[in-house]
Amino acid sequence: VVLLEIITGRPPILNLPEKTHITQWVNSRLNCGDIDNIVDTRLQGDYDRNSIWKALEVALSCTSIVSVERLTMSNVTTQLKDCLVPEFTRNAFSIQEFPLKISSEISPSTR
């Protein structure tokens, strides 16, 4: 859900004519192929559609009602890194120029 909030720039519960969960809102637009109206307008169209599409698929797979259909955090990390490849290509960066220190073995910090 947090990833959907980041991509859309919207809160988890949208106050449309009736309260709608962000997953329902995104799914309804994706089913129509309406990806441009899902992405946060503050990006002003400066994004790779394939990257966004993949990131949305990852986010939505994490919200599946059936728990066995949800991705593991390790898979989420791997797939999100893969989402960045088209962005790097589009912006002429290489993956080596932008090191990612994302660990799929994150543990909670002590309080």
The model's confidence at residue 11, banded by pLDDT at 50, 70 and 90, is very high
Average pLDDT for the chain? 83
Q: The whole model's pTM is what?
A: 0.73
Six-digit token string for 79? 């797939």
Q: Which backbone phi and psi does 85 adopt, to 5 degrees?
A: -55, -50
Maximum separation of any 2 CA atoms in the chain, in Å? 46
Question: Rg of the chain over CA atoms, in angstroms?
Answer: 15
**Three-class SS of residue 21?**
strand
> What is the predicted pLDDT for the residue at 73?
92
Structural domains in the chain plus CATH codes: 2-90 (1.10.510.10)
Q: What is the pLDDT of residues 12-53, one digit of tens each?
A: 999 888 899 999 999 999 988 888 899 999 988 888 888 999
